Structure 1
Amino acid sequence: MTTTSMKLILSILPILIVGFIPELSTGNDHRQFAYTGFTNSNLTLDGAARITSTGVIELTNDTARIKGHAVYPSPLRFRLSPDGMVQSFSTSFVFGILSSFGDIRGHGFAFFIGPSNDFTKAFSIQFLGLFNSINNGSSVNQIFAIELDTIQNTEFGDIDNNHVGIDINSLNSLRSNTAGFYNNSKNGMFTNLPLIGSGPIQTWVEYDGNTTQISVTLAPLGMEKPMWPLLSLTFNLSTVLKEESYIGFSSSTGLTTGHHCVLGWSFVMNSPAPIIDSTKVPKLPYLGQRSPSKLLEIILPIASAVLVLAIGTVAVILVRRHLRYKEVHEDWEVEYGPHRFAYKDLYRATKGFSSKNLIGIGGFGRVYKGILPTSKSEVAVKRVSYSSKQGIKQFVAEVVSMGHLQHNNVVKLFGYCRRKGELLLVYDYMENGSLDKYLCGEEGRTTLDWGQRFKIIKGIASGLLYLHEEWDKVVIHRDVKPNNVLLDKEMNGRLGDFGLARLYDHGTDPQTTHVVGTIGYLAPELVHRGHVG
């Protein structure tokens, strides 16, 4: 055999070895390997990861919220000594991301170098099976990763939903770029490369231990490696990686799913990664374009109808509630704010003006017992209807003014509320009701003796004196009768029902244009001459 023939055989021998033997080692450090398919490989798999019958690593599948890892079985020595610098290394891998539902995206996957192959504490969803919500960003991780992500997660500062990032201990990338490549044949023009559905994509990750330069390059499988990397970053990995570290791939799905597949992989220390023969890697599995399941086709319309019905029901309830509690507010009432009650509070206080809370019916309205929701005070709420807006402003002013009356024999008027065509007056609640129920021996009630009657008469006289002469304004009640005399807990007489009252200043001559009151209880001169006195 000639010397020339021997040299030729020796030059071909490494190629033959790489082509037929999936792993190639140098020394005891496993510093170099190459896979064109993964049939019978001894990679460590966990989670959803599996190797298909054709030799493809499937990290995930159509299951939501899962993670999967494929890791080289033994750690590699990245430093020659514990305090040494991380050596140069280069790796290349071929991957594909498939979705059963078109452009519906699951989360992406990552190539990583880290201190462990145990990721049981890592979350799936957006954490790509590498970190969790607590340790993301912690220097304790000692992980370097290249993420190929198909969902934009704003919490990590992702630039879009189709990007490549250089990660150190965190999914908040130090450098990222939209996935693509710089085409050699087109003078380095950048071309976008969708990570989902573009077919097999080859990636090169290189680290120069002397310059601490990290480079990441992408291209469709079979294309010459681009001259310009997609990403470059100067970062000393000696501050991150341990002396010995594991290398592998990690992926996860979230609410949406995807198949993250690895078809080939090579790695070497201190030289370019072994070439992966694109003609020998297995093909990506064919998923087809699947439509949602029949069950989903049934559930979605029903769920949509239920949602529309629920929204409509809520809208009707809100409108009815608004109309139920709707009040009349005018600008001039602003100054009376402290004396105005919310209709909603009075409605709840009287249990919706329930008939069970009805305590009296008069010519000018119905009276209900109520308990205010905030103060828990007992009140009597009188509902008075009115058809004209004329005089309502003056009347409300009188109501508010009479709210300042302070006398033991005058029922306290707390305030008012207005709705369309309706005025509500809020009084202090009188436990024993009106006097008329005690005068004629109504069933269930004792007839008042003369001592009690005289006490009530004196109280009413005292109240009238206060209204007529002792307060700073004159109030003419004009309807003093037994059913407008109310009795408190101690059977003291109190003047009530100011719905017919008029408010006059001292020194004026009170006049009226028409008689308002109950005939027989009005002063005769008011009926005949139209004024009192």
Structure 2
Amino acid sequence: MAVRGGFCLYRRKKYKEVKEPWEKPYDPFRFSYKSLYKATRGFNNECRVGEVLYKGTLPNLGDITVKRVSHDAEQGMKQLVAEVAYMGSLQHKNLVPLLGYCRRKDAVLLVSKYMEGGSLDQYLFHSDKPPLSWPQRVAVLRDIASALCYLHAGASHVVLHRNIKASNVMLDGDLQGFLGDFWMSSFRNRGSTFTALGGSIGYIAFEQILTGTSTRTDVYAFGAFMLEVTCGRRPFDPEMPVEKRHLVKWVCDCWREGSLVDAVDTRLSGEFLPEEVEMVLKLGLLCTSTVPDSRPTMEQVVRYLNMHQRLPDFSPDTPGIGVPTVT
């Protein structure tokens, strides 16, 4: 009996979750730790697909990913769980579906749909994946622009992604693009500004340090992302020569010298439409303007990328164009 009792106690501790009364409304978005443990074979290293990311399989849902996010502040936890539930309710064909969450000790486990194509940065920066063609890259840019436009203008609350970059863009088996990694996202009422700093070096607008995030800082990050996808280079690379270190500045310099297409990823081997490439690069520069009011909205970006609207007239010498941020 003692052995059996000890085994039962071990099992309870093994699958123990944190669940509080205020979480009751979020039960439809909650997964049991036991189900996630079994789905990932005990969070086996063979199921690890990232530093804190595991692949698993659940009955009726198929392949999933489970991401561990450290979080131990009670008030912050309530906000995070509320955001997870809201993000799970968002419906757009180019958002990675966030399926729910589980709480265990000082961490939250976020459950999302597994994307078999992996992350976009693997195709841009790793030799084990074939480089994407120009039509494939443009299609992904349109996919992510559409998703971000929905977050800014189509959802019931404005959602700020705050961390747009190639490693947070996922691809399915058909190489369709999906915007993911919503644990850094924040939703707010229209017209307000979120004050916490988010994002990665090279994607952060200058004013974000001073005034916080907004839809315009997301647009800045998307502009840096467009240049990243087109040029096959990260927005900031300290290993590059000084004149090429900041991608925004280097692309603008190429334009000023009359050789904008020279900034294109050499792995494309010249197989692209020059006028389309120039439009995307110029749009990337417009989105990364250091003058926030000069940046287009994501609704305008979608129209530009789909050739439904022409870019406004501006040049490499227009104030705010091609100026790298200090970060």
Give the TM-score normalised by the residue count of structure 2: 0.63
Once the 2 structures are TM-superposed, how far is the Cα of residue 357 of structure 1 from its aligned partner?
A: 0.5
2:104 paired with 1:419:
yes
Identity across the alignment (%): 45
Q: Which residues in structure 2 correspond to 1:41-80 (within 5 Å)?
A: none
Q: Distance in 1 between matches of 2:167 and 2:4?
A: 45
1:371-396: CA deviation from partner (whole Å, max 9, x where unpaired): 11x32511111111123223110110
2:208 paired with 1:526:
yes
Q: Distance in 1 between matches of 2:212 and 2:42?
A: 41
**Quick one: which of 287, 297, 314 aligns to 2:4?**
314
Amino acid at match of 1:477: H
SS at 1:327 equivalent: coil
Q: Distance in 2 between matches of 1:357 and 1:321?
A: 22
2:165 paired with 1:511:
no
**What is the match of residue 155 of structure 2?**
471
Q: Which residues in structure 2 correspond to 1:129-144 (within 5 Å)?
A: none
2:174 paired with 1:490:
yes
- Runs of 4 or more consecutive aligned structure 1 residues displaced over 3 Å after TM superposition: none
Q: Which has the higher helix share?
A: 2
Amino acid at match of 1:498: F
**What is the match of residue 71 of structure 1?**
none
Aligned 8 A contact 2:40 2:47 in 1: yes
Q: Distance in 1 between matches of 2:132 and 2:22?
A: 46
**What is the match of residue 55 of structure 2?**
369
Q: Distance in 2 between matches of 1:447 and 1:501?
A: 29
Once the 2 structures are TM-superposed, how far is the Cα of residue 504 of structure 1 from its aligned partner?
A: 1.0
Give the TM-score normalised by the residue count of structure 1: 0.39
2:119 paired with 1:437:
no
Amino acid at match of 1:449: S
SS at 2:74 equivalent: coil
Aligned 8 A contact 2:197 2:213 in 1: no
1:82-127: CA deviation from partner (whole Å, max 9, x where unpaired): xxxxxxxxxxxxxxxxxxxxxxxxxxxxxxxxxxxxxxxxxxxxxx
Amino acid at match of 2:40: T
Question: In the comparison of the two structures, how many residue pairs are matched?
Answer: 215
1:407-440: CA deviation from partner (whole Å, max 9, x where unpaired): 1111111110101101000101100111110002
1:219-267: CA deviation from partner (whole Å, max 9, x where unpaired): xxxxxxxxxxxxxxxxxxxxxxxxxxxxxxxxxxxxxxxxxxxxxxxxx
Q: Distance in 2 between matches of 1:390 and 1:332?
A: 11
**What is the match of residue 21 of structure 2?**
331
Q: Which has the higher strand share?
A: 1
Amino acid at match of 1:406: Q
Q: Distance in 2 between matches of 1:465 and 1:481?
A: 16
1:155-212: CA deviation from partner (whole Å, max 9, x where unpaired): xxxxxxxxxxxxxxxxxxxxxxxxxxxxxxxxxxxxxxxxxxxxxxxxxxxxxxxxxx
Aligned 8 A contact 2:69 2:109 in 1: yes
**What is the match of residue 343 of structure 1?**
33
Once the 2 structures are TM-superposed, how far is the Cα of residue 360 of structure 1 from its aligned partner?
A: 1.4
SS at 1:390 equivalent: helix
Q: Which residues in structure 2 correspond to 1:45-444 (within 5 Å)?
A: 311-361=1-51, 366-372=52-58, 374-375=59-60, 377-440=62-125, 442-444=126-128
Q: Which residues in structure 2 correspond to 1:21-36 (within 5 Å)?
A: none
- Flag the structure with larger Rg: 1
What stretches of structure 1 of length at least 5 have no aligned partner? 1-310
Aligned 8 A contact 2:188 2:194 in 1: no
Q: Distance in 2 between matches of 1:428 and 1:395?
A: 19
2:145 paired with 1:455:
no
SS at 2:25 equivalent: helix
RMSD, aligned α-carbons: 1.3
Q: Distance in 2 between matches of 1:315 and 1:451?
A: 62
